[in-house]
Amino acid sequence: MRDEPIGELLPPARLMLTPGPSCIDPRVYRAMMAPMVGHLDPWFMEMMTDVQILLRRVFQTDNRVTYPLSASGSGGIEAAVLNPLEAGDDAIVCVNGVFSERMAVIAERTPANIIRVEAPMGRTVDPEDVRRAAKGKKLKLIGLAHGETSTSVIQRLADYRKVADEFGALLVVDTVATLAGVPFGVDRDRVDICFSGSQKAISAPPGMSPMTVNAKAEEIIRARKTKVQSWYFDMQPAMNYWGKERLYHHTPPIPLIYALREALRCVLEEGLEARWERHAINQQALIAGVEAMGLELFVQNPADRLPTVTGVRIPEGVDDHNVRTQLLDEFNIEIAGGLGPVKGKIWRVGLMGYSSQRQNILLFLAAFEKVLLDQGFRVPSGAGVGAAVQSYRQPQREEVNVGK
Protein backbone atom coordinates (compact mmCIF):
# COMPACT_ATOMS: atom_id res chain seq x y z
CA MET A 1 0.00 0.00 0.00
CA ARG A 2 1.30 3.48 -0.89
CA ASP A 3 2.02 5.73 2.08
CA GLU A 4 2.56 9.01 0.22
CA PRO A 5 -0.34 11.51 0.15
CA ILE A 6 -2.61 11.54 -2.89
CA GLY A 7 -2.53 14.90 -4.66
CA GLU A 8 -5.24 17.12 -6.08
CA LEU A 9 -7.31 15.69 -8.93
CA LEU A 10 -6.03 17.23 -12.18
CA PRO A 11 -7.32 15.33 -15.25
CA PRO A 12 -5.70 16.11 -18.61
CA ALA A 13 -7.64 18.26 -21.09
CA ARG A 14 -8.46 15.84 -23.90
CA LEU A 15 -10.14 16.37 -27.24
CA MET A 16 -12.76 13.64 -27.02
CA LEU A 17 -13.43 12.27 -30.50
CA THR A 18 -14.77 8.97 -29.21
CA PRO A 19 -18.22 7.39 -29.60
CA GLY A 20 -18.86 8.82 -26.13
CA PRO A 21 -18.36 10.63 -23.94
CA SER A 22 -18.05 13.85 -25.91
CA CYS A 23 -16.54 17.17 -24.93
CA ILE A 24 -18.68 19.40 -22.74
CA ASP A 25 -19.62 23.05 -23.23
CA PRO A 26 -18.19 25.29 -20.46
CA ARG A 27 -21.76 26.36 -19.67
CA VAL A 28 -22.55 22.78 -18.72
CA TYR A 29 -19.52 22.61 -16.42
CA ARG A 30 -20.70 25.82 -14.75
CA ALA A 31 -24.14 24.31 -14.20
CA MET A 32 -22.57 21.40 -12.30
CA MET A 33 -20.92 23.89 -9.94
CA ALA A 34 -24.29 25.27 -8.77
CA PRO A 35 -25.11 24.82 -5.06
CA MET A 36 -26.33 21.41 -3.98
CA VAL A 37 -29.97 21.14 -2.90
CA GLY A 38 -31.98 18.15 -1.78
CA HIS A 39 -33.80 15.97 -4.29
CA LEU A 40 -37.09 16.73 -2.50
CA ASP A 41 -36.39 20.45 -2.25
CA PRO A 42 -39.29 22.49 -3.75
CA TRP A 43 -36.83 24.39 -5.98
CA PHE A 44 -35.37 21.15 -7.31
CA MET A 45 -38.79 19.66 -7.95
CA GLU A 46 -39.72 22.73 -9.97
CA MET A 47 -36.45 22.45 -11.87
CA MET A 48 -37.33 18.83 -12.68
CA THR A 49 -40.27 20.20 -14.64
CA ASP A 50 -37.86 22.32 -16.71
CA VAL A 51 -35.83 19.20 -17.52
CA GLN A 52 -38.93 17.32 -18.65
CA ILE A 53 -40.07 20.21 -20.86
CA LEU A 54 -36.62 20.41 -22.46
CA LEU A 55 -36.48 16.65 -22.97
CA ARG A 56 -39.87 16.62 -24.69
CA ARG A 57 -38.65 19.31 -27.07
CA VAL A 58 -35.45 17.44 -27.89
CA PHE A 59 -37.26 14.10 -28.24
CA GLN A 60 -39.98 15.99 -30.18
CA THR A 61 -42.81 14.37 -28.30
CA ASP A 62 -45.86 15.19 -26.24
CA ASN A 63 -45.46 12.01 -24.16
CA ARG A 64 -46.45 12.50 -20.54
CA VAL A 65 -43.88 9.96 -19.37
CA THR A 66 -40.61 11.67 -20.29
CA TYR A 67 -37.80 11.81 -17.77
CA PRO A 68 -34.07 11.14 -17.29
CA LEU A 69 -33.29 7.77 -15.78
CA SER A 70 -30.46 7.86 -13.23
CA ALA A 71 -28.28 5.41 -15.15
CA SER A 72 -26.08 5.03 -18.21
CA GLY A 73 -27.48 4.20 -21.64
CA SER A 74 -27.21 0.52 -20.70
CA GLY A 75 -29.63 1.23 -17.87
CA GLY A 76 -31.92 2.74 -20.49
CA ILE A 77 -31.79 -0.52 -22.43
CA GLU A 78 -32.71 -2.45 -19.30
CA ALA A 79 -35.66 -0.23 -18.42
CA ALA A 80 -36.95 -0.20 -21.99
CA VAL A 81 -37.08 -3.98 -22.42
CA LEU A 82 -37.78 -5.23 -18.88
CA ASN A 83 -40.89 -3.12 -18.36
CA PRO A 84 -43.06 -4.28 -21.27
CA LEU A 85 -41.97 -7.95 -21.40
CA GLU A 86 -43.61 -10.75 -19.42
CA ALA A 87 -43.81 -14.56 -19.63
CA GLY A 88 -45.52 -15.71 -22.80
CA ASP A 89 -44.61 -12.61 -24.82
CA ASP A 90 -42.81 -12.83 -28.14
CA ALA A 91 -40.28 -10.14 -28.97
CA ILE A 92 -37.76 -9.48 -31.73
CA VAL A 93 -34.45 -7.72 -31.21
CA CYS A 94 -32.54 -6.57 -34.28
CA VAL A 95 -28.84 -7.28 -33.71
CA ASN A 96 -26.12 -5.69 -35.85
CA GLY A 97 -23.48 -4.78 -33.29
CA VAL A 98 -22.38 -4.86 -29.68
CA PHE A 99 -25.04 -2.57 -28.22
CA SER A 100 -28.01 -4.03 -30.08
CA GLU A 101 -26.73 -7.42 -28.93
CA ARG A 102 -26.74 -6.03 -25.39
CA MET A 103 -30.43 -5.29 -25.83
CA ALA A 104 -30.97 -8.91 -26.86
CA VAL A 105 -28.94 -10.23 -23.90
CA ILE A 106 -30.94 -8.13 -21.44
CA ALA A 107 -34.24 -9.15 -23.06
CA GLU A 108 -33.22 -12.81 -22.87
CA ARG A 109 -33.06 -12.51 -19.09
CA THR A 110 -36.81 -11.92 -19.04
CA PRO A 111 -39.25 -14.86 -19.22
CA ALA A 112 -40.37 -13.70 -22.68
CA ASN A 113 -39.51 -15.52 -25.90
CA ILE A 114 -36.79 -13.46 -27.59
CA ILE A 115 -36.01 -13.86 -31.28
CA ARG A 116 -32.78 -12.38 -32.61
CA VAL A 117 -32.76 -11.11 -36.18
CA GLU A 118 -29.14 -10.47 -37.06
CA ALA A 119 -27.08 -8.72 -39.71
CA PRO A 120 -23.32 -8.71 -40.29
CA MET A 121 -21.39 -5.93 -38.59
CA GLY A 122 -21.35 -2.88 -40.81
CA ARG A 123 -24.82 -3.49 -42.23
CA THR A 124 -28.42 -2.79 -41.28
CA VAL A 125 -30.89 -5.49 -40.29
CA ASP A 126 -33.14 -6.38 -43.22
CA PRO A 127 -36.77 -5.47 -42.35
CA GLU A 128 -37.91 -8.43 -44.47
CA ASP A 129 -35.98 -10.74 -42.15
CA VAL A 130 -37.83 -9.15 -39.24
CA ARG A 131 -41.14 -9.63 -40.99
CA ARG A 132 -40.40 -13.31 -41.67
CA ALA A 133 -39.35 -13.87 -38.05
CA ALA A 134 -42.58 -12.27 -36.80
CA LYS A 135 -44.97 -14.47 -38.80
CA GLY A 136 -47.19 -16.62 -36.64
CA LYS A 137 -46.18 -14.74 -33.48
CA LYS A 138 -48.25 -12.52 -31.21
CA LEU A 139 -45.48 -9.97 -31.16
CA LYS A 140 -45.10 -7.70 -28.12
CA LEU A 141 -42.20 -5.57 -29.32
CA ILE A 142 -39.47 -4.98 -31.86
CA GLY A 143 -36.27 -3.51 -30.42
CA LEU A 144 -33.33 -2.01 -32.27
CA ALA A 145 -30.52 0.53 -32.12
CA HIS A 146 -31.14 3.58 -34.29
CA GLY A 147 -27.39 4.19 -34.32
CA GLU A 148 -25.06 1.28 -33.55
CA THR A 149 -21.89 2.91 -32.22
CA SER A 150 -19.85 -0.30 -32.32
CA THR A 151 -20.11 -0.41 -36.11
CA SER A 152 -21.06 3.19 -37.09
CA VAL A 153 -24.31 2.07 -38.74
CA ILE A 154 -27.64 3.93 -38.73
CA GLN A 155 -30.97 2.22 -39.40
CA ARG A 156 -34.06 3.76 -41.05
CA LEU A 157 -36.81 3.59 -38.45
CA ALA A 158 -39.72 3.75 -40.89
CA ASP A 159 -38.84 0.27 -42.20
CA TYR A 160 -39.24 -1.30 -38.76
CA ARG A 161 -42.27 0.81 -37.85
CA LYS A 162 -44.13 -0.73 -40.78
CA VAL A 163 -43.38 -4.24 -39.56
CA ALA A 164 -44.35 -3.33 -35.99
CA ASP A 165 -47.68 -1.96 -37.25
CA GLU A 166 -48.38 -5.15 -39.20
CA PHE A 167 -48.00 -7.26 -36.06
CA GLY A 168 -49.34 -4.80 -33.48
CA ALA A 169 -45.97 -4.57 -31.72
CA LEU A 170 -44.32 -1.82 -29.74
CA LEU A 171 -41.27 -0.23 -31.37
CA VAL A 172 -38.46 0.18 -28.82
CA VAL A 173 -35.56 2.29 -30.05
CA ASP A 174 -32.08 2.99 -28.69
CA THR A 175 -31.16 6.59 -29.64
CA VAL A 176 -28.09 6.81 -27.42
CA ALA A 177 -25.89 7.72 -30.41
CA THR A 178 -28.44 9.72 -32.41
CA LEU A 179 -30.60 11.95 -30.19
CA ALA A 180 -29.74 15.64 -30.87
CA GLY A 181 -27.28 14.66 -33.61
CA VAL A 182 -29.43 13.01 -36.29
CA PRO A 183 -32.89 13.85 -37.68
CA PHE A 184 -35.32 12.09 -35.37
CA GLY A 185 -38.62 12.74 -33.65
CA VAL A 186 -40.37 10.31 -31.31
CA ASP A 187 -43.88 11.34 -32.35
CA ARG A 188 -43.05 11.80 -36.04
CA ASP A 189 -41.28 8.43 -36.24
CA ARG A 190 -43.96 6.80 -34.06
CA VAL A 191 -41.58 5.24 -31.54
CA ASP A 192 -43.35 3.71 -28.53
CA ILE A 193 -40.44 3.48 -26.06
CA CYS A 194 -37.28 5.47 -26.64
CA PHE A 195 -34.15 5.94 -24.57
CA SER A 196 -30.89 7.77 -25.04
CA GLY A 197 -27.71 8.76 -23.21
CA SER A 198 -26.62 12.10 -21.82
CA GLN A 199 -22.96 11.92 -22.83
CA LYS A 200 -23.08 11.79 -26.61
CA ALA A 201 -24.71 14.32 -28.97
CA ILE A 202 -26.41 16.03 -26.01
CA SER A 203 -22.90 16.63 -24.57
CA ALA A 204 -23.69 16.30 -20.88
CA PRO A 205 -21.69 14.09 -18.49
CA PRO A 206 -22.36 10.33 -18.50
CA GLY A 207 -24.81 8.96 -15.98
CA MET A 208 -28.28 9.91 -17.23
CA SER A 209 -30.47 8.05 -19.72
CA PRO A 210 -33.32 10.18 -21.08
CA MET A 211 -36.48 8.09 -21.53
CA THR A 212 -39.85 8.66 -23.13
CA VAL A 213 -42.85 6.32 -23.26
CA ASN A 214 -46.04 6.93 -25.23
CA ALA A 215 -49.58 6.33 -23.98
CA LYS A 216 -49.86 2.88 -25.61
CA ALA A 217 -46.67 1.62 -23.99
CA GLU A 218 -47.54 3.25 -20.66
CA GLU A 219 -50.87 1.41 -20.62
CA ILE A 220 -49.15 -1.91 -21.34
CA ILE A 221 -46.62 -1.34 -18.56
CA ARG A 222 -49.28 -0.38 -16.05
CA ALA A 223 -51.33 -3.47 -16.98
CA ARG A 224 -48.54 -5.93 -16.17
CA LYS A 225 -49.64 -9.08 -14.39
CA THR A 226 -46.26 -9.58 -12.70
CA LYS A 227 -43.70 -7.28 -11.15
CA VAL A 228 -40.81 -6.00 -13.23
CA GLN A 229 -37.68 -8.08 -12.52
CA SER A 230 -35.70 -5.02 -11.47
CA TRP A 231 -36.83 -2.77 -8.62
CA TYR A 232 -34.55 0.08 -9.68
CA PHE A 233 -35.54 0.00 -13.36
CA ASP A 234 -39.27 -0.46 -12.75
CA MET A 235 -40.75 2.53 -14.57
CA GLN A 236 -43.91 2.81 -12.50
CA PRO A 237 -42.28 4.15 -9.29
CA ALA A 238 -40.02 6.35 -11.44
CA MET A 239 -43.12 7.69 -13.19
CA ASN A 240 -44.47 8.69 -9.80
CA TYR A 241 -41.25 10.54 -8.88
CA TRP A 242 -41.10 12.37 -12.21
CA GLY A 243 -44.89 12.70 -12.40
CA LYS A 244 -47.16 15.18 -10.63
CA GLU A 245 -46.86 13.31 -7.33
CA ARG A 246 -43.05 13.68 -7.10
CA LEU A 247 -43.06 10.70 -4.72
CA TYR A 248 -39.64 9.67 -3.43
CA HIS A 249 -38.04 6.81 -5.34
CA HIS A 250 -34.26 7.23 -5.07
CA THR A 251 -31.72 10.01 -4.66
CA PRO A 252 -30.86 11.12 -8.20
CA PRO A 253 -27.45 12.56 -9.19
CA ILE A 254 -28.43 16.19 -8.67
CA PRO A 255 -25.38 17.86 -10.32
CA LEU A 256 -25.83 15.62 -13.37
CA ILE A 257 -29.43 16.78 -13.68
CA TYR A 258 -28.23 20.39 -13.47
CA ALA A 259 -25.79 19.57 -16.27
CA LEU A 260 -28.42 17.82 -18.37
CA ARG A 261 -30.76 20.79 -18.05
CA GLU A 262 -28.10 23.18 -19.33
CA ALA A 263 -26.96 20.82 -22.10
CA LEU A 264 -30.54 20.43 -23.34
CA ARG A 265 -30.94 24.20 -23.23
CA CYS A 266 -27.79 24.50 -25.40
CA VAL A 267 -29.22 21.99 -27.89
CA LEU A 268 -32.42 23.97 -28.28
CA GLU A 269 -30.61 27.30 -28.37
CA GLU A 270 -28.72 26.08 -31.43
CA GLY A 271 -31.86 24.50 -32.89
CA LEU A 272 -32.33 20.83 -33.69
CA GLU A 273 -32.26 21.22 -37.46
CA ALA A 274 -29.12 23.37 -37.32
CA ARG A 275 -27.51 20.82 -35.01
CA TRP A 276 -28.39 17.92 -37.31
CA GLU A 277 -26.93 19.83 -40.25
CA ARG A 278 -23.74 20.63 -38.32
CA HIS A 279 -23.17 16.96 -37.54
CA ALA A 280 -23.77 15.94 -41.16
CA ILE A 281 -21.47 18.61 -42.63
CA ASN A 282 -18.66 17.84 -40.20
CA GLN A 283 -18.88 14.12 -40.88
CA GLN A 284 -18.72 14.72 -44.62
CA ALA A 285 -15.53 16.74 -44.11
CA LEU A 286 -14.07 13.97 -41.95
CA ILE A 287 -14.94 11.33 -44.54
CA ALA A 288 -13.42 13.42 -47.34
CA GLY A 289 -10.23 13.79 -45.31
CA VAL A 290 -9.96 10.14 -44.31
CA GLU A 291 -10.53 8.88 -47.84
CA ALA A 292 -8.02 11.37 -49.28
CA MET A 293 -5.45 9.87 -46.90
CA GLY A 294 -5.95 6.48 -48.53
CA LEU A 295 -8.08 4.95 -45.79
CA GLU A 296 -11.34 3.03 -46.21
CA LEU A 297 -14.58 3.44 -44.31
CA PHE A 298 -16.04 0.42 -42.53
CA VAL A 299 -19.64 1.04 -43.68
CA GLN A 300 -19.72 0.75 -47.45
CA ASN A 301 -23.22 2.08 -48.13
CA PRO A 302 -23.23 5.87 -47.56
CA ALA A 303 -26.93 5.77 -46.59
CA ASP A 304 -26.09 3.42 -43.70
CA ARG A 305 -23.38 5.62 -42.16
CA LEU A 306 -24.10 6.99 -38.70
CA PRO A 307 -23.40 10.77 -38.76
CA THR A 308 -22.14 10.87 -35.18
CA VAL A 309 -19.61 8.01 -35.39
CA THR A 310 -17.41 7.11 -38.35
CA GLY A 311 -15.79 3.70 -38.63
CA VAL A 312 -12.41 3.62 -40.40
CA ARG A 313 -10.71 0.38 -41.42
CA ILE A 314 -7.23 -0.06 -39.97
CA PRO A 315 -4.75 -0.57 -42.82
CA GLU A 316 -2.73 -3.74 -42.95
CA GLY A 317 0.54 -3.41 -41.06
CA VAL A 318 -0.67 -0.53 -38.84
CA ASP A 319 -1.09 -1.21 -35.13
CA ASP A 320 -4.38 0.03 -33.69
CA HIS A 321 -3.10 0.57 -30.15
CA ASN A 322 0.07 2.40 -31.22
CA VAL A 323 -1.87 4.89 -33.34
CA ARG A 324 -4.40 5.68 -30.63
CA THR A 325 -1.70 5.91 -27.96
CA GLN A 326 0.38 8.36 -30.01
CA LEU A 327 -2.67 10.50 -30.78
CA LEU A 328 -3.38 10.67 -27.06
CA ASP A 329 0.18 11.21 -25.84
CA GLU A 330 1.29 13.68 -28.51
CA PHE A 331 -1.91 15.55 -29.36
CA ASN A 332 -4.31 14.89 -26.45
CA ILE A 333 -6.81 13.46 -28.94
CA GLU A 334 -8.77 10.35 -28.02
CA ILE A 335 -10.47 8.12 -30.58
CA ALA A 336 -11.78 4.60 -30.02
CA GLY A 337 -10.90 1.19 -31.35
CA GLY A 338 -13.29 -1.53 -32.41
CA LEU A 339 -15.35 -3.71 -30.07
CA GLY A 340 -16.07 -7.42 -30.22
CA PRO A 341 -15.49 -8.99 -33.64
CA VAL A 342 -14.09 -5.76 -35.12
CA LYS A 343 -11.56 -5.14 -32.33
CA GLY A 344 -8.24 -4.28 -33.94
CA LYS A 345 -9.94 -3.92 -37.34
CA ILE A 346 -11.47 -0.43 -37.17
CA TRP A 347 -11.06 2.95 -35.52
CA ARG A 348 -14.20 4.75 -34.42
CA VAL A 349 -14.11 8.52 -34.63
CA GLY A 350 -16.93 10.25 -32.77
CA LEU A 351 -18.16 13.70 -33.80
CA MET A 352 -20.85 14.30 -31.23
CA GLY A 353 -22.38 17.44 -29.81
CA TYR A 354 -19.78 19.92 -28.58
CA SER A 355 -16.98 17.79 -30.06
CA SER A 356 -18.38 18.15 -33.57
CA GLN A 357 -16.64 21.38 -34.55
CA ARG A 358 -14.77 22.31 -37.73
CA GLN A 359 -11.51 23.12 -35.96
CA ASN A 360 -11.57 19.72 -34.24
CA ILE A 361 -11.90 17.85 -37.53
CA LEU A 362 -9.04 19.79 -39.13
CA LEU A 363 -6.83 19.34 -36.06
CA PHE A 364 -7.58 15.62 -35.93
CA LEU A 365 -6.82 15.06 -39.61
CA ALA A 366 -3.49 16.88 -39.33
CA ALA A 367 -2.54 14.91 -36.21
CA PHE A 368 -3.78 11.65 -37.72
CA GLU A 369 -1.62 12.16 -40.81
CA LYS A 370 1.48 12.74 -38.69
CA VAL A 371 0.81 9.67 -36.54
CA LEU A 372 0.14 7.42 -39.52
CA LEU A 373 3.37 8.57 -41.16
CA ASP A 374 5.25 7.81 -37.95
CA GLN A 375 3.66 4.36 -37.90
CA GLY A 376 4.86 3.63 -41.44
CA PHE A 377 1.68 4.27 -43.43
CA ARG A 378 2.27 6.48 -46.45
CA VAL A 379 -0.10 9.45 -46.61
CA PRO A 380 -0.08 12.11 -49.36
CA SER A 381 1.17 15.27 -47.65
CA GLY A 382 -1.68 17.47 -46.45
CA ALA A 383 -4.25 15.40 -48.31
CA GLY A 384 -6.62 14.89 -45.40
CA VAL A 385 -6.83 18.51 -44.29
CA GLY A 386 -6.98 19.71 -47.89
CA ALA A 387 -9.89 17.44 -48.75
CA ALA A 388 -11.76 18.47 -45.60
CA VAL A 389 -11.28 22.16 -46.41
CA GLN A 390 -12.66 21.55 -49.91
CA SER A 391 -15.63 19.71 -48.38
CA TYR A 392 -16.40 22.71 -46.20
CA ARG A 393 -16.30 24.93 -49.29
CA GLN A 394 -19.14 22.99 -50.92
CA PRO A 395 -22.64 24.52 -50.72
CA GLN A 396 -24.57 23.28 -47.70
CA ARG A 397 -27.32 20.81 -48.40
CA GLU A 398 -30.84 22.20 -48.20
CA GLU A 399 -32.21 19.24 -46.28
CA VAL A 400 -30.82 16.52 -44.06
CA ASN A 401 -32.74 13.26 -44.27
CA VAL A 402 -30.31 10.73 -42.85
CA GLY A 403 -31.93 8.03 -40.74
CA LYS A 404 -35.54 9.02 -41.34
pLDDT in the model for residue 117:
98
- Condensed to tens digits (0 to 9), the pLDDT of residues 134-157 reads 999 999 999 999 999 999 999 999
Q: What pLDDT does 185 receive? A: 98
> Is 186 strand, coil or helix?
coil
Q: How far apart are the first and last CA of the chain?
A: 55
The pLDDT score that the predictor gives to residue 399 is 43
What was the pLDDT predicted at 248? 78
Q: Which residues pair with 336 in a beta bridge?
A: 348
**pLDDT less than 70: residues of the chain:** 1-2, 396-404
* pLDDT the model gives residue 68: 96
pTM over 0.85: yes
Q: Which residues pair with 69 in a beta bridge?
A: 209
Domains with residue ranges and CATH for the chain: 26-268 (3.40.640.10), 272-393 (3.90.1150.10)
Number of CB atoms found within 10 A of residue 27's CB: 14
Of 313, 289, 280, 292, the closest CA to residue 362 belongs to 289
